[in-house]
Amino acid sequence: MSVVVCLKWASVPGEPHDERFSGMSAADESALEFALRHAAILGVGVTAITVGPDGADRVLRDALACGATRAIRIDAPTTAAGTDVATAIADHILDAQWVWCGDYSLDRGAGSVPAFIAAHLGAEQALGVIAIELHEGTVRATRRLDGGRRELLDVHAPAVVSVEGATARLRRAGLRAVRDAATTPIEVVPATTPIHRAEFMVRAYRPRARQLAAPQGEQALDRVRVLTDATVTSAARGETVHLEPADAAVRIMRALREWGYLEVE
């Protein structure tokens, strides 16, 4: 088992948790695509692995349809804590050379599971990668840094690489492959270590009241305050209007004119 891809089955933010609206993140799709390309270069198969309930078989079947050769589901609730997920995965892929992950899962989206897997495997890590070059022995990865700068890395096996969603388009599965994938057996295994539920109190998002970065010009201050302080309602920051599209466009033009963005330079 030398090329592994980790896929998380989760529901799309904003949708109810319902298998109809559940799947893998765009980042996971990129990861799967790279895993398949990489395996092709290395002349090996791809093992797709997920930690989740029965429903999670869906992402494994998608992976099989696209060309993964083996599918493992570690049986656990979707609420499993990230560290436990990583441990569970790592324990099943100790001999993995290349582990491909997405940069974020649809729901948790913390991007930390890949690093934990790397820690467990004592492997190299390249996270949040935005560009990949696949070579025989190494993978050249481009990582984002602050201020738009980027870092070029040479990654060597064993390694965990997590890629962003836009880095690759997942190939389209062939019809026959999709049909076969439906009947390919999936290895369902229990977690080796106890899985804890991540316990949280959930509430709707509300920006945090910001401390103000002085020294800055008065308006700047106000701007920052209004921009980020939730206690300032939309009314205070500006106005909310319900309009038909045509009128909406006219209203935008008016605002742009008032604010001086339409003056011809």
Partner 1 sequence: MSTPDVDVIVVGAGPAGACAAIVAARAGLDVVLLERGPFAGSKNMYGGVVYPRILDGLIPNWWEEAPIQRWVTRRSTMLLTDTQALTVDFRSGAWGEPPYNGATAFRPDWDHWLASHAEAAGAHLLTDTTVIGLIRDIDGTVVGVRTDRPDGDLRARIVIACDGVNSFLAKEAGLYEHTDARHYTLGVKETLALPKDVIDERFAVRDRHGVDIEIVGCTGKVNGGGFLYTGLDTLAVGVVLKLPKLAAQQQRPEAIIAGLKRHPAIAPLVQGAELKEYSAHLIPEAGLTMMPKMTMPGMLVAGDAAALCLAAGIWLEGVNFAMASGMYAGETAVEAIRAGDTGATGLAGYQRRLSDTFVLKDHRKLRKAPELVLSDRVQHLYPGMVANVVERMFRVDNPEPKPGLRRILNQERKRAGVRRRDLVRDAWTGFRSFG
Partner 2 sequence: MIAVVVVRGGELPSGGDEAIAECGGRAVLVGSGTAVAARSLTGIATELTTVELEHFRPAGWAAALSALLADEPAVVLPGSPDGRDLAPRIAALLHRPLYAGAMSITPQRVELARKGGTEIHQTHPGPEFVATLQPGVRGVAVDGALAPPTVSDATPTLLPRHEYRDPTVVAVLPPDPATIDLAEAPRIIAGGAGLDREARMQQLEGIGLLLGASMGATRVVTDRGWVPHQRQIGTTGVVVDPDLYVAFGVSGAVQHTSGLGAPDHIISVNTDAHCPMMQLADLAIVADANETLDHLEALLRDEHAAPRSAPR
Ligand X SMILES: Nc1ncnc2c1ncn2[C@@H]1O[C@H](COP(=O)(O)O)[C@@H](O)[C@H]1O
Ligand Y SMILES: Cc1cc2nc3c(=O)[nH]c(=O)nc-3n(C[C@H](O)[C@H](O)[C@H](O)COP(=O)(O)OP(=O)(O)OC[C@H]3O[C@@H](n4cnc5c(N)ncnc54)[C@H](O)[C@@H]3O)c2cc1C
Question: Of 34 and 104, which has the nearer Cβ to ligand Y?
Answer: 104
Region from 51-59, 92-100, 146-154, 178-186 binding partner 2, contact rule CB under 8 A: 146-154
Q: Assess 52 for contact with ligand X (CB under 6 A).
A: yes
Per CB under 6 A, 114 contacts ligand Y: no
194: helix, strand or coil: coil
Distant-in-sequence, close-in-space partners of 35: CB < 8 Å, separation ≥ 6: 3, 4, 5, 46, 48, 68, 98, 100
- Interface with ligand X includes 111 (CB under 6 A)? yes
Which of 45, 75, 165, 171: binder of partner 2 (CB under 8 A)? 165
Distance of alpha carbon 182 from alpha carbon 184, whole angstroms = 6
Closest CA to 36 of 59, 8, 69: 69
Is position 134 an interface residue for partner 2 (rule: CB under 8 A)?
no
For the segment 157-186, give every residue that binds partner 1 (CB under 8 A). 172-179, 182
76 binds, among partner 2, ligand Y, partner 1, none (CB under 5 to 8 A by kind): none
Residue 89's identity, in one-letter code, is I
In the complex, least distance from residue 125 CB atom to ligand X, rounded to whole angstroms: 12
Contact 165, 30 (CB under 8 A): yes
Which residue's beta carbon is nearest to the bound ligand Y? 109
**The dihedral formed by the CA atoms of 38, 42, 45 and 49, expressed in degrees to the nearest 10:** -40
Q: How do 138-144 and 150-156 pair as beta strands? A: antiparallel
Whole-angstrom distance, CA of residue 120 vs CA of residue 114: 10
CA dist 113 → 127, 161, 195, 206, 260 (Å): 10, 11, 14, 26, 48
Site string for partner 1, 31-70 (x = CB under 8 A): ----------------------------------------
For residues 82 and 70, what is the distance between their CA atoms, to the nearest angstrom? 23
Residue span 14-33 as binding mask against ligand Y, x where in contact by CB under 6 A, dash where not: x-------------------
> Residue 34 binds which entry of partner 1, partner 2, ligand Y, none, with Cβ cut-offs from 5 to 8 Å by kind?
none
C-alpha 189/C-alpha 76 separation (Å) is: 10
Enumerate residues 83-112 that contact ligand Y by CB under 6 A: 104, 109, 111
Which partner, partner 1, ligand X, ligand Y, none, binds residue 114 by CB below 5 to 8 Å per kind?
ligand X
Q: Is residue 130 at the binding interface for partner 2, with CB under 8 A as the rule?
A: yes
How many residues belong to the site for partner 2 (CB under 8 A)? 103
| Cα 122 to Cα 9, 13, 111, 255, distances in angstroms | 26, 33, 18, 56
> Contact positions toward ligand Y, by CB under 6 A?
14, 104, 109, 111
> Contact positions toward ligand X, by CB under 6 A?
6-8, 25, 27-28, 31, 50-52, 82, 85, 101-102, 104-105, 108-114, 162
